[in-house]
Amino acid sequence: MKKLIVPAVLLLMTGTATLAQDKVIAKYANTIKADDLKKHLTFIASDSLKGRDTGSPEQKVAAQYIANHFESLGLKGIVGADKSHFQLVDLVKRGWGEFYIKSNTKTYVYLQDFIASNTAPINTEEKVDFVFVGYGIDESRLSDYATMDVKGKVIVAFDGEPRNTDGTYVLSGNSEASKWSKADSWKDKMAIAKEKGAKAMILITKTSDEDFDKAIKQRQVMMKRFGNARMGFREDGEPKGADFAVLNVSNAMATDLLGIKAGDLDALRAKAAETKKTVAGSLTPQTGALRIERTITPVETYNVLGFLEGTDKKEEIVVVTSHYDHVGINDGKIYNGADDDGSGTVSVLEVSEAFGKAAKAGHRPRRSMLFMTVTGEEKGLLGSEFYVRHPVLPLENTVCDINIDMVGRTDKEHEGKGDYIYVIGSDKLSSELHQIMETSNNKYTKMDLDYRYNDPNDPNRFYYRSDHYNFAKNKIPVAFFFNGVHDDYHQPTDDVEKIEFNKMEKRAKLVFYMAWDLANRDKRIVVDSNKP
């Protein structure tokens, strides 16, 4: 009888080949090494890459490094006719140029004199009328628009709602505040103002001017650190809601814009509370000017893809992701992002290497593997969102996404304890994915799997804050691995020297074991859950 030669991939499918399978899996899992992770991260998170800001020349250097690594493993490019490793993510950076409000006497500048809750472009200076509308409320108990025509006007309104000196609110008649006192009540006031045809809205702070000045300084620090520009998709035009400006001003600035004296605003607040009636229209409209210059700059940035074709189930795809961008340089300091997310990036490199070496030795996975480092996460999960909008491989064939974002450190909750990793999202769409993850850990890596951030009531909302979420929104099962935040999170001190590579190695190995199971099992995992 002719000797039966069984291909390695089929040997791994048989129930009687567990020992042989375990040896193969262990062999390639053990190619994931702390020293190799350190070698990659020492480059990816080096000062020479200047924090890998989205679209920067240094981020492109990181992208080429990742693509070269994929190519060296035999992982193919699959983007476009030229089969590139690079998927162009079509972004623009939207910022602000000249942004000011003029009264009859003075020019007030954005981030120096006032801030904004919402913005909309007014690219050339426009003469405007400032019309006082009380609190900008419109309901049966109090309507500030009943006798007001605000079409085409810039309305000026008090933030909040009328309140008596004894602490009771006019609308409720007791100490219970209404929706108009909530921090985001400006959105309701904006909706009414838009409906009435107003051009823009200026809200007068309900805090002291001293506290408002502190709020401006806090906003200055935030903008200095993260920039006053926002990236978005080129084809989308302006961001949602960018058709109406809501600008926040101090009492002193409002007094000037409305042409009244110091103390008049307090008198109007007191009158509204005492009479329980609107004070809208009690001031003469004033003329002024407004300019909100929009700047739009194209941004060239890329997702980097490495594809390993499977065998008998090659049409199905297991995706492993991380984001390789960070926030660049701020105030002259380089934010290297070694943990966020250099650690995830180099983990993807090492897991892809394990699969690549296995494939070269004849142990190609049954399902195809897509290793993808995405751009624009720090700007709003933009690279992963672009991919699911413009998938290179069919989303309906995508089995799951395993996402790695910060796996190189220990948070305060686990200092002095054993090996751990936070797991988020693994049970939300597929019970099988969750079971595969737990089985892989119990059998191989034996870490403490911490699910506290998987709680739908988690105030941090980590489930919504990394790239897996764009896959989950498309009903693709996900598992997100995360070490938790620490004092160096989004600080210039997030450096390679603080990475715990032995812990990182074990976490990357768990991703490999999971991915190996997902790629080689007989049946595709089910989508049988819909948890929040």
Spell out the alpha helix ranges (H) of 116-248.
185-195, 209-226
Mean pLDDT (the chain) is: 93
Instruction: Of 235-249, 386-400, 421-435, give the lowest mean pLDDT range.
Output: 235-249
Please, are residues 299 and 20 in contact by the beta-carbon 8 Å criterion? no
pLDDT grade for 233, boundaries at 50, 70 and 90:
confident
pLDDT bracket for residue 399 (50, 70, 90): very high
pLDDT band at 19 (very low <50, low <70, confident <90, very high): confident
Six-digit token string for 44: 């990816």
12-26, 155-169, 466-480: range with lowest mean pLDDT: 12-26
pLDDT of residue 22: 86
CA geometry: angle at 500 spanning 34 and 487, to 5°? 150
Segment 419-436 shows an average pLDDT of 98
Question: Which amino acid is present at 311?
Answer: T
pLDDT interval class at 6 (50, 70, 90): very low
144 pLDDT more than 60: yes
Q: How many whole angstroms separate alpha carbon 532 and alpha carbon 65? A: 37
Average pLDDT over residues 20-29: 91
Report the pLDDT value the prediction gives residue 464, as an integer from 0 to 100.
96
- Which single residue is written with the structure tokens 């926030």? 327
Q: Residue range 483-487: average pLDDT? A: 97
- At 227 the pLDDT is 63
User: CB atoms < 10 A from the CB of 155, how many?
Assistant: 26
Write the CB contacts of 379 (distance below 8 Å, at least 6 apart in sequence): 54, 91, 230, 231, 325
- Band (pLDDT 50/70/90 cuts) for residue 532 is confident
The reported pLDDT for the residue numbered 118 is 94
Measured CA to CA, the distance from residue 72 to residue 494 in angstroms comes to 29
Q: What pLDDT, on the 0 to 100 scale, is given for residue 210?
A: 96
- Stretch 200-212: mean pLDDT: 97
Q: What is the pLDDT of residues 302-335, one digit of tens each?
A: 999 999 999 999 999 999 999 999 999 988 999 9
